[in-house]
Amino acid sequence: MVKMVMPLEDIKVIDMTRLAPGPFCTMILGDLGADVLRVEQPGGGRRAQQERAAGVSADERRWAAFNALGRNKRSVALDLKHPEAQRILQELAKGADVFLEGFRPGVVKRLACDYETLAAINPRLVYCSLSGYGQDGPYRDLVGHDINYIAVGGALGLMGSEDGTPAIPLNIIGDYAAGGMHAAVGIMAALMARGKTGRGQYVDISMTDGVLYLLAAAVSDYLARGAVPRPAQHRLNGAAPYYNVYRCKDGGYIAIGCNEPYFWDALCKAVGCPEFIPHQYTVERYPEIKRRFGEVFLTRTRDEWWDYLRSQGEVAVAKVYSLDEALEDPQMQARAMVVEAGRLDGEPVRQVGIGPRLSATPGHVRSPGPLPGQHTDAVLASLGYTPERVRALREQGVVG
């Protein structure tokens, strides 16, 4: 049997992160073959303990198995307030390729796992700090979450209604795209550079930087022309009738993306409004066109419009799905964007599939997520610790 080769095979990653951006970054690396070791607090830390007390994580085995952010990873529990736990972490860093942390600036220095300390031990280490505002600047020490980073980064001010009220998106922009995916790209670039120089380096990922980076086209337009985009006033955020969503007869919504004139031509003919074809860019007529389209789309259900418009030539159209509908969509099924990641007590564990599609070295879900500290004994044994020593460390609260 031919052994399956994976892109990041033999890359060892230490993941010190807690919330969504870091685990998503290492999910990407793990999906592509990296050996990811999560370093967690004994018992899962303060947040896990609070959730447990509130009954949020009543079935921790089930949550660990179904949580895609934990897949393809092992877990060791270390209380880094103890010097012995810090020494264990440093020993692990000696053989690592990547170290990812998501604390506020300065915390890793107190835990003796900052870049300078670990780079002295392992000069080939790619060390990534993932934070809200980065390691310098006046906001470096501020606390925050996705909503704060997309606000400062300029994305939140581009979304919303015509009265200017921002619409709060799910935390996919700051946390997942500008944070986790941005970090994964930076880490892989640093690994490529290490192949040329033989040395690792420090990667400073700011989620706020990443938000502005994602707005590259909007920033370019503003810097070139001086026009500030506002909610529902840009052609791609709700101003234009050809790039918009419309409510249908059954309360569902249909998404129209007919930017190109030939798409617009086909749409106008399909909905019985050919008189609007010459006015795709006549801004003063947009309210009239949107009002008329709104009336037309209320005459059929969402699925009826989807079936009909797909049959009318080149009309860029899609149904606005709820998440459960998206998971069952035939396109998502055909692309294996829902996969089985193993079984839990005989039940299939279903998770989101793998985004990057590599023909020769595809990613793979090799194992579901572990419980905090599930692999502590095995990891310490690989460092030469005897079972007796591990038991003593556990009794002292150094490991979990």
Positions marked catalytic: 145, 175
Alpha-carbon distance of 383 to 385, in angstroms, equals 6
Look at the alpha carbons of 93, 96, 98, 102 in this order and tell me if their dihedral is positive or negative: negative
Contact 179, 245 (CB under 8 A): no
Radius of gyration, alpha carbons of the chain: 25
Query: What's the distance, Cα to Cα, between the start and end of the chain in Å?
Result: 38
Q: What is the DSSP letter of 35?
A: E
Q: Cα(326)–Cα(309) distance, rounded to whole angstroms?
A: 19
Q: Tokens for 247?
A: 């409510």
Count Cβ atoms within 10 A of the Cβ of residue 336 and give its class: 0-12 exposed, 13-18 middle, 19 or more buried. exposed
Token digits of residue 292:
């008329």
Q: Are 320 and 253 in contact (CB under 8 A)?
A: yes
Spatial CA neighbour of 261 closest among 317, 318, 316, 320: 316
Q: Cα torsion for 61, 66, 71, 76, to the nearest 10°? A: -20
Residues 6+ apart with CB under 8 A from 299: 249
d(CA 263, CA 389): 69
Contact 171, 146 (CB under 8 A): yes
H-helix segments, the chain: 21-31, 45-53, 60-66, 83-94, 107-110, 115-121, 146-152, 182-197, 207-214, 216-225, 261-270, 286-297, 302-310, 323-328, 330-334, 376-382, 387-395
DSSP for residue 5: P
